[in-house]
Amino acid sequence: MNKDILLESIISCPKCQFEKEEKMPTNACQYFYECTNCGVLLKPKAGDCCVFCSYGSVKCPPQQKDSGCCA
């Protein structure tokens, strides 16, 4: 019953469109993310628990497991 959980997500900066692959923590959500290109501090969009859900190519591990999130 083990679903494959992806731990890497490509974050796309909404300001400069810079893309960077980041590792996601398995049991926590990352609420803030600073773009390494333009330095903007990203926060999740309304209704999303973390920056990976809002801006990443893959949702965060708790969401992938359907176990809800830490928020």
Which residues sit at the interface with Zn ion, rule CB under 5 A?
13, 15-16, 18, 35, 37-38, 40
* Alpha-helical segments (H) within 1-71: 51-55, 61-64
To Zn ion, the closest distance from the beta carbon of 3 in angstroms equals 31
Specify the residue, 14 or 25, whose C-beta has the smaller distance to Zn ion. Answer: 14
Place of tokens 């390494």: 36
Of the two residues 35 and 50, which places its CB atom closer to Zn ion in the complex? 35
Q: Yes or no: say if 64 and 56 are a contact pair by the CB < 8 Å rule.
A: no
Cα separation, 52 vs 65, in Å, equals 14
**Minimum CB separation from Zn ion for residue 46, in Å?**
20
- Distance in Å, CB of 21 to Zn ion, minimum: 15
